[in-house]
Amino acid sequence: MIRVDGFAPSSRLSSVERTQPGGPHAAARTAVIWEVLRREVARGAGLRVVDVGGGTGGFAVPLARAGHEVTVVDPSPDALAALVRRAEEAGVAERIRAVQGDADDLAELLPSGRIPSDVDLILCHSVLEVVDSPTAVASALAALLRTGAAASVLVASRAGAALTRAMAGQLDLALAVLTDPDGRWGSRDTVRRRFDIDGATRLLAQAGLTVEEIHGVRVVADIIPATVAERDHELLAAFEGTVAGQSPFRDVAAQLHLLARKP
């Protein structure tokens, strides 16, 4: 069952969020995701976490600081080098493993032992929109999880992209996003696909996961003037947290965050 309400936003940022790279303004943009993750990791200590496409460790490092064992899988050597540096600076290098690899190859990586099996939590943020096969990747995510464990999946939203383009005065691109089968605005669009709520939910359900929660991330963060977002970052976090689970706000956010569990 999809839960769209019952989201209890914190009006203030936690110390973890305030210290995110990019400062409080950037933290306000991810506060909705952290709210969900905080509840999920409160289920246990020393969880085995895999962050697919985890990049420089924006999520991995705070999770390791909270005592969890995090494996980051990412194809970019530069991102992994930055991750290792950040992990060392944060004093959590021993709890972070950096694995160079592609989400499309997850199924082949697993038998190598480089990534753990029976994982307690998987993060797959901003990756399904760029992989070769979202269906295969979703199945591989499900295969990694132990029964009862959850995947935190963040995808680009078609509706959000259309709104942002329209508000920037690029109405032709906004219309293209709405009519293109993959939600792209043209051949120079670096995003391979964008998702609707139904499509993202179906993708995870077909992989055998039960979508429990869907929130909109960055409902207004990219639309309001940057000076306002900077000045009123606490208010922005409060606003984003309040509307994240509410239609119609959730539906036009830049990204959709889904929490899906392996039954």
Ligand X SMILES: C[S@@+](CC[C@H](N)C(=O)[O-])C[C@H]1O[C@@H](n2cnc3c(N)ncnc32)[C@H](O)[C@@H]1O
DSSP 183: -
C-beta neighbour count of 112 within 10 angstroms: 10
Site string for ligand X, 181-220 (x = CB under 6 A): ----------------------------------------
The reply to whether 125 sits near ligand X by the rule CB under 6 A is yes
**What's the CA gap between 71 and 94, in Å, rounded?**
11
The reply to whether 23 sits near ligand X by the rule CB under 6 A is no
Residues in the chain: 263
Residue for token pair 């639309």? 223
Applying CB under 6 A, which of residues 16, 93, 130, 136 lies at the interface with ligand X? 130
Question: Which CB atom, from 21 or from 46, has the smaller least distance to ligand X?
Answer: 21
- Closest by CA position to 89, among listed 13, 21, 24, 27: 21
Using CB under 6 A as the binding rule, the residues of this chain from 135 to 174 that contact ligand X are none
Q: Where are the beta strands (DSSP E) in 14-162?
A: 48-52, 69-74, 96-100, 119-125, 145-156
Applying CB under 6 A, which of residues 17, 40, 74, 213 lies at the interface with ligand X? 74
Element (H, E) at 215: strand 210-217
With beta carbons less than 8 A apart as the criterion, state whether 79 and 55 touch.
yes
Applying CB under 6 A, which of residues 31, 35, 41, 53 lies at the interface with ligand X? 53
Site string for ligand X, 75-104 (x = CB under 6 A): xx--x----------------------xxx
Residue for token pair 């309001």? 224
C-beta neighbour count of 98 within 10 angstroms: 22
Applying CB under 6 A, which of residues 13, 37, 40, 54 lies at the interface with ligand X? 54
Distance of CA 164 to the CA centre of its chain: 19
Least distance to ligand X from the beta carbon of 60, Å?
8
Instruction: Candidates 113-121, 124-132, 190-198, 210-218: pick the segment binding ligand X (CB under 6 A).
Output: 124-132
Least distance to ligand X from the beta carbon of 56, Å?
7
Give me the residues paired with residue 154 across strands: 125, 257
Instruction: Candidates 9-17, 70-78, 192-200, 232-240: pick the segment binding ligand X (CB under 6 A).
Output: 70-78
Residues that bind ligand X (CB under 6 A): 52-55, 58-59, 74-76, 79, 102-104, 125-127, 130-131
